[in-house]
Amino acid sequence: MQDKPYQPNEVTNGYEYDRRKDTFSAPAISLEKERGASKSEKEDDVPTRGKWGKSIQSLMLCISMSVGLGNVWRFPNVAYNNGGGAFLIPYLLLLVIIGRPLYYLELILGQFSSQGPIKLWRVVPAFKGIGYAQVLSVSFVVVFYNYLMALSVFYIYSSMRTCLPWTDCNYPNLTANSSNITPAEYFWRNEVLEEDPENPDTFTHISWKLALCLFITWTLVYISVVQGTDSLGKMAYFTAIFPYVVLTALLIVALQEEGSLEGIKFFFKPELSKLKEITVWYRACEQSFFSLAIGYGNIVMIASYNKFTNNVYKDAIIISVLDTFTNVLAGSVIFAVLGTLAFQKDLPIDKVVNHQDLGLAFIIYPQALADIKIVPQLWSLLFFVMLFTLGIGSSMSQIETILTVIKDKFPNLRERKGYLALGVSVLFFLLGLPLTTNVGQHILVLLNNYGVGAAVYVYATLTVIGITWIYGIRNFSNDVRFMLGSTPSIFWKTTWTFTAPVALTVIFIYGNIPQEEGQKSSLPLWAEISGWVLAAAAVFQIPVWGAYVIYRNPEKTLMEKIRSSFRATKDWGPSDPEDKKSWLEMKRSPEEYKEKQRDVMFVSAVYNKSFEGDVF
């Protein structure tokens, strides 16, 4: 059937065609190309966007991204600080009504649009500041994730000694002199962090050993990233599977020790009075974000390289279940060892370790490794290699998120990925050096709590509001039906439109109200102020870019500018020309969907000058 000639400003079923170019769009989505023309000459020199070689690679990379340091390092620490079993109840509940639905939502958005976290917001242009804010928060995560990997490199080297340096053979007199500190904790604070007891909150020196480990880490990350999406996906096979082997072996060993079962009971038996504390719910929701990597743009980036018809529903279920299983497995290992230490010290489990900072995993895991009777050095080496691979799987995805934003804006840079990745790696290595100082743990906590934790609530809430309330759940559901062949169930629609945004808002507001008898913060004043500045720098991207979008809109009156800025641009939709053409044909032919006429989508195409001259 012959296409009818293009008519400027033609309106068909609510979709207004406009030839004027939106510079926010990718060249692959021009209307000329949709109407059957061959690839335009202007695109001949633009490198194409990569795709995963196999769907399983995307799944494995999502697993290595979501099943990472957030599970093995962060989850046990947060659970220990918030009542053990009492933490599991809100965590599992919020995972069902917030975590899993948002994870599925981000997978859909990335796969449907084939764009990174900034260009995705063609769907609601006024919200594109969310993408910039997410990239900034991902940058914060990249800084401290690679620092944690550097710590793993330090422990890998230390594991090669004849006597493990965090055992009694290295500190034979420690138990007699300091009954409340284990050799593992002593090694952590004095040999690794090089804390200054006389100036705990003041910068005095940098650890050259940690700085060297950080350099090695960034070198390996750079080599991994520069290989491209196909190599990234293949490496994920190892980074996604190997940790389960090591964690299972550690759990078996830990359960052999006396007192370990009491630790397991503490982990699974809730203290119901703790559920009244809003902080427990706040940290549980925050952990689901961090563990699943929701709200940072990473999942959108990974899914953007999927094939258009990939079954993301299956991926979302598999990954969320594996993530929960990994949290429980890692928590069981930690609490089994805590139970043993509590038995040996004759102390309550929640008093065994000074856990105000985020170093619990680097105290308890080495303790478990030291208790292994047969070649503990080998088990220690395997564990910290595992911890490093967990980190590198996540770090590669985070770096790729930042690179994707840049490459999507400047497609020609796809041919110069090596130089681009080198520049980004050097920059973040320098930004990570302050963490290698004697006050590095303060910086780690402020990056984790403020630069990441508080801000992600805002991103997640605005994302579900923008997609389901402004773009519309009916429009979005039909997009999903077009891509996957079926409409999302009532459960997904309810959680996206109501449960998630309401729960997120309530928990965020109450979680940030000062408690009457709140615990004293472990951070000095300068760190708390710095943390709120980082959070503000990220979150303020949203109103700033929103105002910019409205200001650059060509409509005459302010109300028209605002309305126009909250409508999808003509370039929203699938990036592949053939998929885009079919998608538009669905919009143009409502008679083919008579039984679902009430679901016909109305998308307003907007020429929005706010997209001219973007940084990305």
Task: Indicate the annotated binding residues for Na(+).
Answer: 67, 71, 291, 390, 394
Q: How many Cβ atoms from other residues are within 10 Å of residue 615's Cβ? A: 8
The span from the CA of 291 to the CA of 320, in Å, is 10
H or E element at residue 16: strand 15-16
Side chain identity at 213, as an amino acid letter? C
* CB 401 within 8 Å of CB 145: no
Bind-site residues: 67, 71, 291, 390, 394
Of 536, 568, 527, 549, residue with least CA distance to 458? 536
Of 426, 403, 102, residue with least CA distance to 232? 403
Burial of 593 (0-12, 13-18, 19+ CB in 10 A): middle
Side chain identity at 13, as an amino acid letter? N
CB crowding 14-34: b at 16 or more within 10 Å, else e: ebbeeeeebebbbebbbbebb
Sign, CA dihedral 256-257-262-267, equals negative
The span from the CA of 40 to the CA of 173, in Å, is 76
Please tell me whether residue 424 adopts helix, strand or coil conformation.
helix
Sign, CA dihedral 414-420-425-428, equals negative
Radius of gyration of the chain (CA): 25
The span from the CA of 257 to the CA of 452, in Å, is 37
* CB 316 within 8 Å of CB 100: yes
Of 537, 536, 527, 296, residue with least CA distance to 434? 527
The span from the CA of 23 to the CA of 11, in Å, is 22
DSSP label at residue 437: B
Can you read off the two tokens belonging to residue 383? 């564990």
Question: Any idea which residue has 């964690």 for tokens?
Answer: 247
30, 309, 312, 323, 400 from 305: Cα distances, Å: 20, 12, 12, 22, 11
CA end-to-end span of the chain: 39
Quote the longest CA-to-CA distance of the chain. 90
Q: How many Cβ atoms from other residues are within 10 Å of residue 370's Cβ? A: 21
Of 294, 317, 312, 240, residue with least CA distance to 103? 294
CB crowding 323-332: b at 16 or more within 10 Å, else e: bbebbbbbbb
The span from the CA of 542 to the CA of 137, in Å, is 13
* CB 121 within 8 Å of CB 436: no
At 19, give phi and psi (nearest 5°): -70, -20
Side chain identity at 131, as an amino acid letter? G
The span from the CA of 31 to the CA of 571, in Å, is 9
* CB 280 within 8 Å of CB 83: yes
DSSP collapsed to 3 states, 430-449: HHHHHHHECCHHHHHHHHHH
Q: How many Cβ atoms from other residues are within 10 Å of residue 520's Cβ? A: 6
